[in-house]
Structures are given as C-alpha cells and as structure tokens.
A and B are shown apart, each in its own frame.
Chain A
Amino acid sequence: MSTTTATPPPKKVNRIGLELSDYRGGKTTLCAGCGHNAISERIIEAFYELGVEPHRVAKLSGIGCSSKSPAYFLGTAFSFNAVHGRMPSIATGTMLANRTLVALGVSGDGDTASIGIGQFVHLMRRNLPLIYIIEDNGVYGLTKGQFSATADVGSKLKTGVVNDLPAIDTCALAIQLGATYVGRSFSGDKRQLLALLQGAIAHRGTVMLDVISPCVTFNDHEGSTKSYSYVKDHDEPLSDVSFIPFFQNIEVDYEPGTATEITMHDGSRMVLKKLGTDYDPTKKVEALRVLTEAHDKGEIVTGLFYIDTERENFLDLLNLVDEPLATLPESRVRPTRQVLDEIMEELK
C-alpha cells in the first residue's frame, strides 16, 4: 500500500478561476434530444470561456419550453421567468435599474413571434444592451404542438395539418428595426453557435439570435422544415464565424480579402471567413437581400447577418449615471429641502 497520495490533476478553470461546473444549472426537464438543451450547453461554455461572473448575469424569459431553460444553466445567476411574450419589458426594466448587469433573454418562437411580437419589435428599436435568443422550433411545445408564426409555409404537423401562412423572419425584422447584432444559427452547430454567443456577450447593444432548435416530440418528422434532418440538409452558413476574446492575443491567418474582422466594444474580435460570395455584415440592405434570397431558394442561411458597433445603446441614450439606479443612496435621489421650497414658491 502506498503512503503517498497522488496529486489530483489541476482543475480546469477560466480566467476568473471558476470551473465549467460553476456555470451549470439545474437538471433539465425538457425532452431528451431537445435542441434547447444543446443551446443551454453552448451558453454555459460561452460564459465560462469569457470568464463572466455568473452573479452579473440576469437571465430573463417568458413562457414556454424555451423560457424554462434558464433554470438549466448559470444556476447561481439571478433569473426572472415572467409572463408569456413579455420578457422584453422585464429585461428593459432590469437593465434600467442596473446597467452593470449582463442581460440574457431566452424566448421561443411562440413567445416572440406571436404573443410577444409587440414587445419584441419595440425592444429591437431601443437597442437595449441585451442578448435575446429565440429557441426556434416552429411549434408550441408545452401546449402540445400547435404551429407558431415562424413555421414555414408548407411545413407539416404530425397530425398532417399543413401551415399555410408565411413565416415571420425574426432576423429580418430585428435588422430592419434597429437591433445591432443579428444572426441565425442551429442548435446542432456547436462551433458556430458558440462563436455567435461569445460575440453576443462582447456586444453592448441588442443582440438577436434566432437559433433553430428542433422539437423532438412535436416537430422532428418528415415534412417539417424545423426537423434535425431538414435543417442539416438546408443549412447554408454565410461565413465561417470565429471569436477571439479581448484577453487572448491570437493572430488569425487568412488570405487578404477572404475574411472580415470586426472589433467589439470590449476589444474582442469577430472573424468572418468568406465561404462563398462576398458579404458585408455592416450593411442592412445586404443582410435583408441574403435573407430574402435564401428564403426564396428554400435554404436556411445561418451566421452573423448584421452588426453595428457604433450605434448608441438605449442606456447611453437615456444618459444614465454609471452606477446602478437601483442602489443610488438617498442623498442622490431625494432632492433637498431647498428644492421643495423653491418649487412651492413657484406654485404660490
């Protein structure tokens, strides 16, 4: 019997000394194989790799399967699971109260594109610093498989019902309305989704990511345009996305003219390597053209469609003090006796 104990292998930690497990949450109650679980995994990795303190993250959601998922990642972060379709307003209030938070909103296609379309539209206009993820499966899962407004024309339900109304393209809408970081991905594309999420965390403005996330129970069959096999077959990445955080000094090798590099607010970089044709993600018109054309061809184009790192975000527009409004001391929020006297004098 040996008397010496073997030194345990050093635990793998991120730049702030936390382990991957510190970013995990409760056990998922979603179906096995649900795309949402894969998205949760990528969220865990993205926050871990960028070394964001979980307490700085506010997880916000509405109602539906997607909106339950914040319970399954970043378990020590604060979270608010609100009412159906109204997460944007909760998120807005939260960020007004404490601008130092990193707001992560998780919604679904029903929660966003139907009951919540009004709040979604106005959220995009404001460019509030917020990561808004749509876990998009084209159906209402918790109420057992009715079509949502992102279901494609001709897509078929298990019951044989065919969708005959056009889909709302949430990405096109977000770009048109003023979101400043807009992309689409697939829950099955680990690499692309992780890079897009990391870029999202580095962005200070409204991020809108539509992540196609097949529903294994109600929308993964032949005839569905949101099934794993359909998305795999029709996924057309716009460019190869990679992310280099500000704390890593990595040189990326690429031939001139084959990639676009974008510097984020915190100094991180997004590198978009060209896959086919030239694409400029800072041009709204380009983005809308690509989305429309892909749609006409029946392709699911993915990647970072649009980015604007210049536009003022909503909190700066409101000229808020740097500290959280929530905890300003009384001396800064209750005007003095002299002020009241002055006002009373004016009213005499």
Chain B
Amino acid sequence: MSATHGAAKEAHPSPTPAQVVNDLSIQVATVNGSGSQTANTVLLRTILQMGIPVSGKNLFPSNIAGLPTWFTIRASKQGYVAHRREIDFLVAMNPETAEEDVRNLGPGSAVVYDERLNLKRLRDDVVFYPVPFDQLVTPVCPDARLRKLVRNMIYDGVLAKLLGIEMEEIQTALQKQFRKKLKAAQLNFNAARAGYEFAEKNLEKADRFALQRMDATRGKILVDGNSAAALGAMFAGVTVVAWYPITPSSSLCETLIDYMKRYRLDPETGKATFAIVQAEDELAAIGMVLGAGWAGARAMTSTSGPGISLMGEFVGLGYYAEVPAVIFDIQRVGPSTGLPTRTAQGDILSTAFLSHGDTQHPMLFPCSVEECFSMAIEAFDLAEGLQTPVFVMCDLDLGMNNWMADPFPYPEKPIARGKVLSVEDIKRLGHFERYRDVDGDAIGYRTLPGTPLPAAGYFTRGSGHNEKAKYSERPEDYVNNMDRLARKFETARRRVPGPVIEGNTSAEIGIIAYGTSHWAAEEALDQLKQDHQLSAGYCRLRAFPFNEEVRDFVARHRRVYVVDQNRDAQMYDLLKLEFDVENIKKLRSVRHYDGLPIDARSVTDSIVSQESEN
C-alpha cells in the first residue's frame, strides 16, 4: 500500500493549471464480459443526477467476452452530447489496451488504473492514479465469484473522490439500477465506498478536472434509442411484430416484448392485443409483416443492414402491391458482416431504392431518443396512410447508447389508419377498385380480408395489375400504375416531416446533417464560429423524400456541406439526384466512417479544410 501511496504522490507533471469544471470526457477501458456495465451506467446516471448534461457511448466488440471495450462518458455544461475524440480521464482496466490507451491521451489528462499495470513509466505529462483494485475488492466482497463484477464499482468511488462526484448520488443511481435487489445495490455501493476511501487517503488530486452540481437536467430521463422506438411502437398501437435477432437492433424488439407484456394484455381476459414472433430469418420477418399489414394490422420489424439486404425482394412487393409496413433499420458498419457493433449511416442509398425494378421508399431519420419515440408513431401513420413500407433509419449510436432526454409527450393525434373501406362505404359507393386514384393523391382505397361483402374482395399480387387489381401485362396498365406510384411518392414528400432549419440562414455556407450526426454538426457550428469565424446555416434532414424546404436551403447558400457517416457520401448522392445542376454544384461532402460515432472536430476540420481551398 505504501508503494502505491508514494507513486501517487510523485505524479506531479506540472503545477495544477486552471480548473476545468463540468467539461470532460471519461473513458473506461475494460475487457468485454468483465461486468463493467453497471459501474459505467451508474457513473453516467450519477452525473445526470448532479444536474450536469451528460452522454455515454459504449464502444464494444463483436464478442461475448475477452475483447477490449471502451465506455466513454462526456459531461458538458454547454450540453454537447456528441462523441468527443479527446479523453481527459482514462480508467485503464484492460491490460491489453492500457499502454496504447495511455499513449493516445493528450497532455494534462489523467489515468486511473489498476496498479499492477504499472503505467506510470509510460509518460510524464499525464497524471497517474494507481489503484490496487484486487486488494480493495476482497474485504468488501467475500464471495469470490462476484468480485470480478463488483471490482469495477471501485473506480466509480475513486472517480467520485477525484472529480467531486457525490457519493449519495451514486447510492441513488445504484438503487435505480438494481431496483428491488437491495443486497446487490449495497454490495456495489460498498465497493464504490472502498474506492472513495482509498482515494481520500492515498491519492492527491493533481489534475484540473472537476464536476460540480448544476441544474440542467431536472426531470430528464435516460434511455436508449431502441427502447424509445419500442415505446413509440407500443403507443402507435402496433399489433404484429416479426423480427430476427441482429446486432444492434435486437434490443428494440426485446424491449418491446417487455413493455407489451406489461401494458398490452387485455385487462379483462389477460389475452394479448399483440403478436410478436421471432421469425426464422429476416425474409420471414418482413413477409409476416407484409401479410399482417395486408390483413390490416399495424405491423413492424426491426433489423440492421444485412437484414435490410435480405428483405429487398419482399420490400419491392410491399411497394408494388402497396402494403403498409414499418421497418426500423438500426444501422451498423460495413458491407457484409462489417463491424457489427460499430455505428454508421451506411444504408441510406440502398434503403431509399431497396429492391429491383423502379422502387423508392420513404425514410425517417431520428436524431434523438425523443424522435425515436415520435417518429415510430409517425412511421405507422405514414405507412398506413401511404400504403407502403416506411423505414425508420436509426443507428447503433442512437439505438444502443443511453441518451438524456425530456420525458416523451403523450401522442395527442389519434391513430390514423389510412384509406380503408367498410362494408357500408362499399355499399354506398356501389363499387371498389383497389388501385384507382380517386382523390388525386395517388393513394387508392383498400379493404381488409374478412370484410363480409363479395365486392370487397380483391387479388393482391406482385405481378402486373390494373386499377381493379386484375392481372395485366398491358403496357398502358403498367405505365399508369408506375406513374401513379411515382405521384404517390410526391404525396409522401408533402407528408413526411420537413427539415429543421437553424443557424445563420444568410451565411455563405450551409451544413446539412441527419440522424446522430446532428449532435456533432450542432457543436461544429459553434466551433466554426468561435474558432474560425465561420458562420453557417444548418439544415437537419428528418425524412426522405426531401421537401421544398431542403431545396430552398441549398439555394440560399453558396456552399453546402453534407455530413454523412459513411464512405460513399450517400446522403450527398441522394440530394444530388433530386437537385438541378446549380444546386448540385454547391454540395460538398463531409464523411466519417471509422465505426466510432462522429465527433464535432471531424466536421469542423473537414469544413475548414475545404473552405481554405475555395
């Protein structure tokens, strides 16, 4: 113990510079499967409880146990929640990566580490805090089997002491985490306290970072995007769900199952007002969704890139036969298997035109957990209103990480089921033609299987058909139908959510971003202004097809930077398809595709560099 003490006392690289309060990134480096999730979530929640805006990102491997994993927590008094490349506080628990992790730190940062790793020798410009984790855990956790898990709570206690995190809030967060498992909560708290007491006695504060109570998170919830989307689906009144497990989307349907079992059993009979089926593959999942959508259910599936590829053929049927469906795509990295546990926005182009022949599909781009919830609801109304598959394009960063948010507002708009004819409707009209554009919006009326009237029945097919849903190979029938589908897409353009436009609308440059890139883009706008005297307008896309406001935004600016989390600048390409030459010439691309969530510095640097070439 004395050696440790001495080592800590010696770790003074320079006199303590000005304190940095409520603006830091913590990175916890562990081995996958070592049970650090509780310690990390508790740390995140504790900072939130202290009123400090916070975000957490789990950078984990495609592996159950053994490979390195990093959890980053960013506390930001300005409310920035994007990923930040710079790490201020490293918790080095993984012998495999510790040395590299330490070498990657900037000068002046700090390292809490397992003393056995002997990291102090690596640098003299960072602060080292060695902690004898094994020695500390033994007395607080007599059960040797639990030590591996409980051990991690020690760094929460050490950080609490070093950064000024309130121990009472750690206790509250643990109670929240363990709910009724009081013993487990107490065991974990004891470990945190052991860490705190150790730091109090043995570590001298030598870094400049601190956390202090604020009042910026009152009433906030902490939730991941997949759970938020699941809640949205439940409040949208989803009745049929078919899915196939795939990272990073599985937790969406799993959370949905939990919620539906709690809140969607008929109070009188105890029977389910929903069906959730784990299908044999993604082809069957989307098939079940289309069958259910055809028969009138609000049906959905959730998947990721490889699943989207497999669903291609069926989605074309949904488009052409005009069957509503909601598909959540929690995007991950890469063609093929790629990096299954890393984030990207890589399915934009392939989803926009998924399937063979002429096809196009509405897509929604939630940027926040609030939008995961609200757009899930909106997606069902759009799908049934437009009678077509609608995609909600999420990503791993949003779907699997915890984000703070305001509580979700209750959906005030009644559920909109689209154009469905009843027996009375058909009797009044005297006839029914499934694919006839009666209202000028290119959306026909449909009937649901089981409607007790001979005139209600019709034949749905993926082969050529006319307005009456009869088989047809006549050229004019095919063209009429395809042209109507194109007009229906124009109706979609008017119905999907428009962009959010902010920033300096008269600036020379504009930025277009969507989904999780929003958080980096928003921070980049500030960096550009503060550090580079560059003022920019900002357009956050919320849906495809793009409406007029997007075109107007581009028209207003001289150069417009489109931020994509993919190699091929997919949204930039999609925008180019819709614009005239003048507007196309204005577009520039900012791309980020290394699997980590995009950070503001990447956006800022790319724009500054491209601007300097102008």
Do A and B associate with each other? Answer: yes
Are A93 and B454 touching (Cβ within 8 A)? no
Inter-subunit contact B291/A321 (CB<8 Å): no
Give which listed residue, B223, B235, B450, B462, contacts A101 with CB less than 8 A.
B450
Instruction: Please state if A96 and B448 are interface contacts (CB–CB under 8 Å).
Output: no
B451 contacts the other chain (Cβ, under 8 Å)? yes
Residue of B nearest to A70 (CB): B459
Residues of chain B within 8 A of A77, CB atoms compared = 457
Query: Which of A60, A86, A96, A333 has the most B CB atoms < 10 Å from its CB?
Result: A96
Supply 4 further A-B pairs (C-beta < 8 A) apart from A58-B295, A326-B297.
Answer: A78-B457, A93-B289, A122-B284, A344-B221
| B interface, CB within 8 angstroms of A | 219-223, 231, 234-240, 242, 259, 263-264, 266, 269-275, 277, 279-281, 283-299, 313-314, 317, 321, 407-408, 410-411, 414-415, 447-463, 471
Q: How far does the Cβ of B73 sit from chain A's closest Cβ, in whole Å?
A: 18
Residues of B within 8 A of A339 (CB): 263
Given A320-B275, A335-B264, A343-B231, A55:B283 Cβ within 8 A: no
Query: Which listed residue (A78, A320, A340, A348) contacts B271, Cβ 8 A?
Result: A320
Instruction: Answer whether residue A98 sits at the interface, using C-beta atoms and an 8 A cutoff.
Output: yes
Whole-angstrom distance between the Cβ of B315 and the nearest chain A Cβ = 10
Chain A residue, CB-CB nearest to B313:
A83
- Distance in angstroms between the alpha carbons of A54 and B454 in the assembled complex: 8
Minimal beta-carbon separation of B229 from chain A (angstroms):
14
Q: Which residues of A contact B238 (CB under 8 A)?
A: 333
* Assembled-state Cα–Cα distance A322/B272 (Å): 9
> Which one of B223, B235, B298, B314 lies within 8 Å of A340 (CB-CB)?
B235
Contact A81-B460, Cβ < 8 Å, known A119-B283, A325-B239, A347-B222: yes
Contacts of A90 in B (CB 8 A): 287-288, 290-291, 294
On whether the beta carbons of A55 and B221 are closer than 8 Å, the reply is no
Q: Is A334 an interface residue (CB 8 A)?
A: yes
Complex-state Cα separation, A306 to B179, whole angstroms: 51
> Is B449 a contact of A94 with CB atoms below 8 Å?
yes
Chain B residue with minimal CB distance to A75? Answer: B457
Q: Are A94 and B295 in contact (CB under 8 A)?
A: yes
CB-defined contacts of B298 to chain A, threshold 8 Å: 333
Select one of B259, B280, B288, B414 contacting A330, CB under 8 A: B414
| Chain B residues in 8 Å Cβ range of A347 | 221-223, 407
Check A78–B458 contact: CB distance below 8 A: yes
- Say yes or no: A97-B237 contact (C-beta < 8 A), given A339-B263, A347-B222: no
B residues near A76, Cβ cutoff 8 Å? 454-455, 457
| Chain B: CB-nearest residue to A60 | B291
Q: Tell me if A96 and B263 are in contact (CB < 8 A).
A: no
Nearest A residue to B268, CB-CB: A321
When C-beta atoms are compared, the residue in chain A nearest to B236 turns out to be A334
Supposing A92-B291, A321-B266 touch, asked if A86 and B284 sit within 8 A by C-beta, the answer is yes
Count chain A residues whose beta carbon lies closer than 8 angstroms to a beta carbon of B.
60
A-B contact pairs, 8 of them (CB 8 A): A79-B460, A89-B290, A93-B293, A93-B294, A93-B299, A96-B277, A326-B296, A348-B220
User: Chain A, 73-107, contact with B by CB distance < 8 Å: what is the 0/1 string?
Assistant: 00111111111001011111111111011000000
Cβ B273 vs Cβ A119 within 8 A? no
Residue numbers in A under 8 Å from B279 (CB-CB): 89, 122
- Choose from B234, B275, B448, B452 the contact partner of A335 (Cβ within 8 Å): B234
From DSSP, what is the main secondary structure of chain A's interface residues? helix
Q: Contact: B459 with A81, CB < 8 Å?
A: yes
Q: Among the listed A79, A82, A324, which residue makes an inter-chain contact with B462, where contact means beta carbons less than 8 Å apart?
A: A82
- Enumerate chain B residues within 8 angstroms of A328, measured Cβ to Cβ: 237, 239, 273
A332 is an interface residue with CB less than 8 A from chain B:
yes
Q: B295 — which chain A residues lie within 8 A by C-beta?
A: 58, 93-95, 97-98, 101, 324, 326
User: What is the CB-to-nearest-CB distance from B377 to chain A, in angstroms, rounded to a whole number?
Assistant: 9
Q: Is the CB of A93 within 8 A of B449?
A: no
Q: Which residue of B lies closest to A80 (CB)?
A: B460
Q: Does A319 contact B (CB under 8 A)?
A: yes
Complexed CA–CA distance, A60 and B426 (Å): 24
CB pair B263–A81 under 8 Å, yes or no, is no
Chain A hits for B281, CB < 8 A = 118
Query: Chain A residues with Cβ under 8 A from B314's Cβ?
Result: 82-83, 86
Q: Does A53 contact B (CB under 8 A)?
A: yes
Most chain B CB atoms below 10 A, which of A70, A326, A334: A326
3 nearest A-B pairs in the assembled complex, by CB-CB distance: A93-B291, A89-B287, A326-B296
CB pair A325 B274 closer than 8 Å: yes
Write the chain A residue with the least CB distance to B234.
A335
Q: Is the CB of B291 within 8 A of A55?
A: no
B383 to chain A, nearest CB (A): 14
The smallest C-beta distance from B418 to any residue of chain A, in angstroms, reads: 13
**Min CB distance, A86 to chain B, in Å?**
5
B452 to A, closest residue via Cβ: A55
Give the one of A98, A334, A339, A341 with max B CB within 10 A: A334
Across the interface, name the chain A residue whose C-beta is closest to B48. A348
Cβ-closest chain A residue relative to B241: A96
Q: Give bound CA distance, A169 to B493, whole Å.
A: 51
Contacts of A58 in B (CB 8 A): 295, 449-450
Indicate if A113 sits at the interface (CB-CB under 8 A): no
**Chain B min CB distance to A13 (Å):** 15
State whether A81 touches B266 (Cβ < 8 A). no
The complex places the Cα of A82 from the Cα of B263 at a distance, in Å, of 34
Q: Which residue of A lies closest to B287 (CB)?
A: A89
